[in-house]
Amino acid sequence: MNHPSALGKGLGSLIPQKHTLTERVIPSARKEILEIPPNDIKENPRQPRSHFSQSELEDLIASIKEHGIMQPLVVTRSNGAYELIAGERRLRSARALGLETVPVIVREANEQQKLELALIENIQRQDLNAVEEAIAYKALIDEFNLKQDEVALRVGKSRSNVANIIRLLDLPSDILDALKEGRISKSLARTLLAETDPKKQHDLFEQMLNGGVTVRQTEARVTGITTKRSVPIAKDPNIAAHEKKLREILGTKVDITESNGKGKIEITFYSRPELMDLLELLSEKK
């Protein structure tokens, strides 16, 4: 299986000094860094992030005040003005500090590239909640006629991961609101997708909000399987690391149990389409 390189290598990937995901979006990148007034830069209308934590902004403001802006913003020219592609928190912080100029890299970008680059930056920083991420992926598919595997390639995720995130948008609005606000986790939200009865789904959701149900318990209730409580056993760190790697590749829950050199790998899916995606992913040749 051949997967694109993972994200999370820092915002240096947004500067055209290495061949990265960003260069895959805009291959002909200029290396020149300019200094321009922050008020001359318009916000990115394609910014997928709708919520900005005030405490995180304050931390960034304090850091910029002490060290300056370490990473240039990425902008494009639009109708004779500069339009932000990546770096909205840095731009907001610079304005709050009253900085006269900010460092920028100017690139030519169309509407699709603006969304892709903003999405990549937010994924690298893990700033997007699951709903914002899903909406951005769906916009790339609906507005620019991309397929899920094309979106996955551009943002450095597996196709299964992209598909699973997008499916969250099938949940009712009150559940999506709770997910956006961090009142339930992405894992819990995904288990709710498997419950097709609206009333049962909502009852489970209410229990989640009250902290009365875990992912495993939700899975058991949805599938009609009851499990006995057992004392948790500490997992071998190497096994845990392999589990984490498989979760990242497959975009779903993976459990590995091992004893005396034998064991099993359990891969969880929450719907028939998700099963089909997993089978397709596991069938791919290297």
pLDDT tens per residue, range 172-186: 999 999 998 888 888
Residue 23 has a pLDDT of 52
Across 3-17, 55-69, 145-159, least confident range: 3-17
Domain 11-126: which topology?
A: 3.90.1530
Annotation marks residue 88 as catalytic: yes
Confidence of residue 55 (pLDDT cuts 50, 70, 90): confident
Domains of the chain by residue range = 11-126, 165-223
More confident residue, 128 or 30: 128
The confidence score (pLDDT) of residue 223 equals: 62
Determine which one of 88, 132, 195, 274 is catalytic: 88
pLDDT averaged over every residue in the chain: 77
Segment 194-221 mean pLDDT? 80
More confident residue, 227 or 151: 151
Secondary-structure class of domain 165-223 per CATH:
mainly alpha
pLDDT at 10 over 50: no
DSSP letters along the chain, please? ---PPPS-S-GGGGSTTS--HHHHHSSS----EEEE-GGGEE--TT-------HHHHHHHHHHHHHH---S-EEEEEETTEEEEEE-HHHHHHHHHHT-S-EEEEE----HHHHHHHHHHHHHHHT-S-HHHHHHHHHHHHHHH---HHHHHHHHT--HHHHHHHHHGGGS-HHHHHHHHTTSS-HHHHHHHHT---HHHHHHHHHHHHTT---HHHHHHHHHT---------PPPHHHHHHHHHHHHHHSS-EEEEEETTEEEEEE--SSHHHHHHHHHHHH---
| % of the chain exceeding 70 in pLDDT | 76
